[in-house]
Amino acid sequence: MPYQKIISPLPGGAVMAECGPMRLVISGSVGEVPQQETAVRAAQESFEYLERIARLRDVLGQRHHDISGELEDLLARHMVESVSAVGDRDLTPMAAVAGVIADAVADFLVDRGMTKVVVDNGGDVAVRLQPAGEKMERSITVGIRSEISQRAPSHVISLNSGLPSWGVASSGLGGRSLTRGVASVVTAIARRAALADAAATAIANASFVEDAQVIQVMADEIDPDTDIPGLPVTVRVGRLSEDKKSEALTSALNRAETLVRKNVIFGAFVAVQGEYAMTRFFEECLVRSPV
């Protein structure tokens, strides 16, 4: 892979791993003690994970239902399994790529004794937590933005060691990937980041509404190498009416609720131009929201 591989130590014991489009912030600790040396090893592994996926890009860029046979590479299988669980026929396994790399790095750290792990792959986050002791839970807080481009979080959720593995991922207008909807942001919570990643993409796509303010073009007009050629994607959304915003929120939330009932995700948050809605589980995780 021609990209430069950069590993940078960060304050507090975390490290940043950069390679082409991938930028990971990796944090692992035993108890409350950061293990930066182990995080550096995880960063080195992340480059291999990215290369493995790049070698299979032609296969992983196909619609998931068109991929025949079981892939040998474990990461590739996890990508296919994640989008298959979500079920949208237009999704390719690349819809789970950021989440699956975050998961793989997090699992690498857990396998080496880390009891608290946070791996942030450009906003798609894998969390692993082990209890601090008998009847003592660990927890972390995760900031949620109501727009992809927003710097400060508008909402904050708490995840605890009642479950050892969490994934949080976002999709929407202005994100790293193309979207077919009008949502400013969709954030999904699941047991794995790959599942959350694929689900967030599907829920954001479901937020599409027909309106003169919604401008779409074919995906391959924007990116000739896209994995969804021939499909319309949203490039701009003007000011929507309250009715249209409500329609978009309802469509996206209905898709999220379906995935909750299928046990694919725990919950989701959807925002459209300053208006937002969320599933019950997401609401229960909230520790801070706008007044």
CATH of the domain at 130: 3.10.520.10
Percentage of residues in the chain with pLDDT exceeding 70?
A: 98
pLDDT digits (tens, 9 = 90+) for 244-279: 999 999 999 999 999 999 999 999 999 999 999 999
User: What is the per-residue pLDDT for 175?
Assistant: 75
Which stretches within the chain are classed as H helix? Answer: 36-55, 57-60, 74-86, 97-110, 193-205, 219-222, 242-261, 280-285
pLDDT at 280: 95
Rg for the chain (alpha carbons), in Å? Answer: 18
CB-based burial of residue 193 (10 Å sphere; 0-12 exposed, 13-18 middle, 19+ buried)? buried
Angle at 166 between CA 178 and CA 112, to 5 degrees: 115
* Range(s) of the domain holding residue 52: 5-288
Q: Which residues contact 96 (CB under 8 A, 6 or more apart)?
A: 78, 79, 82, 83, 194, 195, 197, 198
Q: How many helical (H) and strand (E) elements, i.e. helices and strands, does the chain have?
A: 8, 15
Percent of the chain with pLDDT over 90: 82
For the record, the structure tokens of 68 come out as 């025949």
**Partners of 100 in the β-ladder:** none
Report the pLDDT averaged over residues 158-181: 91
> What's the pLDDT band for 7 if we cut at 50, 70, 90?
very high
Paired residues of 277 in beta bridges: 270
What is the rounded average pLDDT of the residues 102-129?
Answer: 96
Per-residue pLDDT band for 285 (boundaries 50, 70, 90) equals very high
CB atoms within 10 A of CB 240: 19
Tell me the residue length of the chain: 291
Whole-model pTM? 0.94
Q: What is the pLDDT of residues 43-78, one digit of tens each?
A: 999 999 999 999 999 999 998 888 877 899 999 999
- Average pLDDT on 192-212 reads 97
Mean pLDDT, to the nearest integer, of 17-27? 95
CA dihedral (205, 288, 107, 120) positive or negative = positive
Domain tally, the chain: 1
Using alpha carbons, select from 258, 269, 91, 88 the residue that is nearest to residue 188: 269
Q: Is the pLDDT assigned to residue 138 strictly greater than 90?
A: no
User: Is the confidence at residue 133, as pLDDT, over 90?
Assistant: no
The predicted structure's pLDDT at residue 290: 75
Chain mean pLDDT for the chain: 93
Pairwise CA distance, residues 79 & 63, whole Å: 12
Burial of 174 (0-12, 13-18, 19+ CB in 10 A): exposed
